[in-house]
Amino acid sequence: MRYLFFFAPLLLLIAACEDKPEPTIDESIYAKVDPEDDARSRMIWQNPGAVMDAMGDIRERVIADIGAGEGFFAEKLAPIADRVIAVEIDQKYINYLDTLRNFSLPKEFRPRLEPRLAKPDDPMLEKSEVDIVLIVNTFMLIENKVDYLKKLYPALRSDGRIVIVDWKKKTTPIGPAKNDRLAIGELQDLLKEAGFHEVSSDDATLEYQYIVVADKKKPE
């Protein structure tokens, strides 16, 4: 009987650990450029591993992926983060993300991905709902950028951060027209105007894009 008392708590602990899947990192996100490859695969030029590194420790974090599209980042973030809110303004992408969640993600990770339909001028995030906001290849398309950033500000928790990845304002083999792009200096000014504090700016790691990280400005 005394063995039963010893093993029972151990079995309960094991069962509790099994209920919550461990975060998993797919090493393919750090894919290297192969000179022999046709090299226009997004896994190559986007270098998602570098973007996720800029986000910091995402375990147990709630992430809003603004402009999630077909889930390029959302699918990679969901197995690691606590929850990923995949924000889109087009119902067809919400439908695509629903399909991605139900058929591409392992069953235990599906509850972590939440597609959310938003408005072009409103991300539809609740106050203090997220730890990290990720915006990739999307910010340049937003019309009233400062107003949009000001709506993101209260959605971030006090220690939250925003990570924006967008196209360098120069001619590149892929990407939008140069005149449609937002220069990194302009983005830095917009973040400051919206009340954010710049943490880092990196226009060297990615071949075609820059990465800007900012957090909520602390009261003086």
Per the structure, the count of domains in the chain is: 1
* pLDDT digit string, tens, across residues 140-194: 999 999 999 999 999 999 999 999 999 999 999 999 999 999 999 999 999 999 9
pTM confidence score: 0.82
How is residue 70 written in tokens?
């077909």
What integer is the mean pLDDT of 5-22?
A: 47
Q: Which domain holds residue 159?
A: 2-216
- List, for residues 62-98, the tens digit of each pLDDT value: 999 999 999 999 999 999 999 999 999 999 999 999 9
Sort 11 into a burial class: Cβ within 10 Å, 0-12 / 13-18 / 19+: exposed
Identify the CATH number of the domain in which residue 110 sits: 3.40.50.150
Cα–Cα distance between 87 and 123 in angstroms, integer? 7
Give the type of residue at 214: A
User: Which pair of structure tokens corresponds to residue 128?
Assistant: 């203090």
